[in-house]
């Protein structure tokens, strides 16, 4: 479905995740974060950059990966993106949430 | 004489030795397979062992039976891969040279990665079923378990056979019903993902299974530790889930050999091109099956499809031709739903599992993403296919290495 955000039209799925990463930009990320009641800081963006790197290399995202990333520890990750940090961080980053095969 | 060396004699390594022995000229190529273990396990059977559906004898055979006669089979621990010198070092000190190397060392559970998991309660009230030992210990436990809170848990992704824990929960429901004690067992499914089902079509088509079987879901649970003294698992958000019997899928990691050789990612999986199966760092090293970091499912069916394409790419590599970028992440899995029924899913890197018929469009006889008894019979028949066709590298009729889009209902997928 279509969504209008940060003066741009984007395509999202039922849960609000972007279906086409090429439509993403930082302004959209900011607005998506606001909808999750998250005010983005430099630390938030560092995490988003890390997530984008993993996504581009097609590496799976996990809490363990975050722990080893050197960007942030897990408690901080939960503090930045409360309640389901991977779900929220991927939504803001404009990429699909971590999935299994079914 | 040139040397092709295969590391690992599991599903992938055994298949590759069978494929290549008939394709590489014997006067030019010597094929060697190295694996320290004598037993070849039918790993899908580990799901059935705890419920006394399969016996221990049905899930293991001597590995040697399946390695072709003309292949040099070495049963020894591999110490190191030295890709700069094109060498493999064995524990005894022997060094083997290779022209082409195939890494098929699979994945293992790593319960030490979570505090308290591999502790005093391991295989007492905390079990895995991804190893022969774990599945057998769990069978013995279930035989006289009096009931309580059963927690089926995934530590983190990726894991081998991502649907197995869900199947375990479904089969547990049937098992306790048949024993007349379902009312004494509370089943909870705990996952680090957003749900037991994560793909839109599958969620829509299958979520009823959880309600029908009264299986509770705890989602987005990222385990920090097992508190085995107080029988609970605790996640990073301090959420707690209590258990009497914890059946967990620990972190899955590639073999320690990959780490020792400095060839893996964080989880010891080998970075591999997802369409050609050539490793990213060395052009004469290929990887297959669970050992790779491919964004495909870690499953025997995936290894089977990869093997057909890898065989062709090895031949192309030898001839100096460009590799075929053909592997599409194809997986084909039966999913037991209990009570003599099963589902079938067929998918790849880009297409999620959808409804339809398989392998003949519009005919079946197998139904995709729907429960049926025929699917269950397919899963049961598969054990025979595995031992007699699949690992021997015999093509399974009507099932192609790349996914077919025919007979499927795709309308909404992306």
Residue B192 and residue B309 in one domain: no
Residue B402 lies in a domain: no
Q: How many CB atoms lie within 10 A of CB B128?
A: 23
Distance CA A23, CA B26 (A): 54
Please state, in angstroms and rounded to a whole number, the distance separating the CA atoms of residues B114 and B163: 21
Q: What is the pLDDT of residues B109-133, one digit of tens each?
A: 999 999 999 999 999 999 999 999 9
Distances (CA, A) of B282 to B35, B85, B294, B339, B357: 22, 11, 16, 48, 40
Task: Establish if A98 belongs to a structural domain.
Answer: no
SS3 string, chain A, reads CEEEECCEEEEECCCCCECCHHHCCHHHHHHHHHHCCCCCCHHHHHHHHHHHHHHHCCCCCCHHHHHHCCCCCHHHHHHHCCCCHHHHHHHHHCCCCCCCCC
User: Are residues B239 and B284 both part of a single domain?
Assistant: no
- A2 in reach of chain B (CB within 8 A): no
Residue A81 lies in a domain: yes
A23 domain residue, yes or no: yes
The distance in angstroms from the start CA to the end CA of chain B is: 49
| Residue A99: inside a domain | no
Residues B243 and B346 in one domain: no
Please judge whether A100 and B157 are an interchain contact, meaning their C-beta atoms are less than 8 angstroms apart: yes
Contacts of A42 (CB under 8 A, 6+ apart): none
What domain range includes position A60?
Answer: 2-93
Is A100 contained in some domain? no
Render pLDDT for B219-276 as a digit per residue (tens, 0 to 9): 999 999 999 999 999 999 899 999 999 999 999 999 999 999 999 998 999 999 999 9
B156 touches chain A (CB under 8 A): yes
Phi, psi angle pair for B2, to nearest 5°: -105, 160
Whether B266 is in a domain gets the answer yes
* Residues B232, B122 within the same domain: yes
Q: Does B239 reside within a domain?
A: yes
Co-location of B231 and B133 in the same domain: yes
Of A59-68, A69-78, B174-183, B208-217, least confident by mean pLDDT is A59-68
The tokens of B49 are what? 């062992």
Same domain, B140 and B92: no
Q: Which residues of A touch B158 (CB under 8 A)?
A: 60
My answer on whether B126 and B227 are in the same domain is yes
Residue B397 lies in a domain: no
> Which of the residues B113, B202, B210, B237 would you substitute to probe the A interface, choosing the one with the greatest number of A C-beta atoms within 10 Å?
B237
Q: What's the number of domains chain A is made of?
A: 1
In a domain, A101, yes or no: no
Average pLDDT along chain B: 95
- Confidence class of residue A100 from pLDDT cuts 50, 70 and 90? confident
Residue A15 counted as domain residue: yes
Q: Provide the token pair at B391.
A: 């690992």
- The tokens for B252 are 């899955």
Question: Is B404 domain-assigned?
Answer: no
The average pLDDT across B78-92 equals 98
Question: What residues make up the domain containing B162?
Answer: 110-251
Give CA–CA dist B169/B207, Å, rounded: 13
- Judge whether B403 lies within some domain: no
Co-location of B138 and B222 in the same domain: yes
- When CB atoms are compared, the residue of A84, A86, A102 closest to B197 is A102
Q: Which H or E run contains B252? A: strand B252-254
Contact A101 B163 (CB under 8 A): yes
Active site residues of A: 101
For residues B213 and B345, membership in a common domain is answered with: no
Final residue belonging to a domain, choices B224, B251, B278: B251
- Residue B410 within a domain: no
Nearest CA in chain A to B295: A58
DSSP-assigned letter for residue B400:
-
**Taking CB atoms and an 8 Å limit, are B193 and A99 in contact across chains?**
yes
Task: Provide the pairing of β-strand B72-74 with B29-34.
Answer: parallel
Same domain for B228 and B125, yes or no, is yes
Residue written as token pair 């959209």: A28
- Number of domains forming the structure of chain B: 3
């Amino acid at each position: 479905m279509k969504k209008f955000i940060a003066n741009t039209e984007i395509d999202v799925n039922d849960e609000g995740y972007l279906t086409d990463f090429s439509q993403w930009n930082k302004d959209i990320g900011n607005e998506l974060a606001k909808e999750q009641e998250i005010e983005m800081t430099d630390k938030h963006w560092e995490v988003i950059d890390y997530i984008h790197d993993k996504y581009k290399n097609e590496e799976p995202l996990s809490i363990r990966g975050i722990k080893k990333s050197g960007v942030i520890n897990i408690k901080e990750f939960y503090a930045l993106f409360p309640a389901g940090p991977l779900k929220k961080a991927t939504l803001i980053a404009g990429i699909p949430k971590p999935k299994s095969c079914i | 004489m040139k040397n092709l060396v295969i590391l690992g004699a599991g599903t992938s390594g055994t298949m590759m030795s069978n494929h290549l022995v008939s394709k590489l000229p014997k006067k030019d190529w010597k094929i060697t397979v190295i694996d320290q273990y004598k037993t070849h396990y039918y790993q899908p059977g580990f799901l059935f062992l705890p419920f006394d559906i399969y016996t221990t004898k049905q899930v293991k055979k001597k590995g040697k039976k399946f390695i072709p006669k003309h292949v040099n089979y070495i049963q020894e621990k591999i110490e190191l891969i030295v890709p700069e010198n094109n060498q493999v070092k064995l524990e005894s000190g022997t060094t083997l040279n290779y022209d082409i190397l195939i890494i098929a060392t699979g994945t293992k559970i790593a319960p030490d990665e979570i505090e308290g998991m591999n502790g005093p309660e391991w295989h007492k009230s905390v079990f895995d079923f991804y190893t022969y030992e774990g599945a057998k210990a769990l069978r013995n436990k279930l035989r006289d378990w009096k009931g309580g809170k059963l927690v089926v848990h995934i530590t983190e992704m990726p894991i081998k056979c991502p649907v197995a824990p869900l199947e375990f929960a479904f089969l547990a429901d049937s098992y306790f019903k048949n024993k007349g004690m379902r009312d004494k067992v509370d089943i909870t499914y705990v996952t680090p993902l957003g749900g037991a089902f994560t793909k839109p079509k599958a969620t829509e088509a299958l979520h009823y299974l959880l309600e029908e079987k009264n299986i509770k879901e705890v989602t987005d649970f990222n385990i920090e530790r097992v508190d085995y003294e107080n029988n609970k698992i605790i996640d990073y958000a301090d959420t707690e889930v209590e258990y009497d019997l914890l059946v967990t899928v620990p972190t899955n990691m590639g073999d320690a050999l990959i780490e020792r050789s400095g060839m893996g990612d964080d989880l010891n999986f080998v970075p591999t091109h997802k369409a050609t199966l050539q490793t990213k760092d060395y052009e004469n090293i290929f990887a297959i099956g669970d050992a790779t970091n491919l964004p495909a499912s870690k499953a025997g069916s995936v290894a089977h499809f990869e093997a057909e394409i890898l065989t062709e790419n090895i031949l192309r590599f030898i001839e100096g031709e460009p590799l075929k970028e053909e592997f599409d992440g194809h997986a084909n899995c039966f999913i037991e739903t209990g009570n003599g029924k099963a589902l079938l899913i067929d998918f790849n890197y880009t297409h999620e599992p959808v409804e339809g018929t398989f392998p003949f469009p519009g005919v079946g006889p197998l139904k995709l993403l729907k429960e049926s008894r025929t699917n269950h019979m397919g899963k049961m028949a598969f054990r025979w296919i595995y031992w007699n066709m699949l690992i021997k590298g015999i093509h399974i009729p009507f099932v192609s290495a790349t996914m077919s889009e025919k007979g499927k209902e795709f309308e909404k997928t992306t």
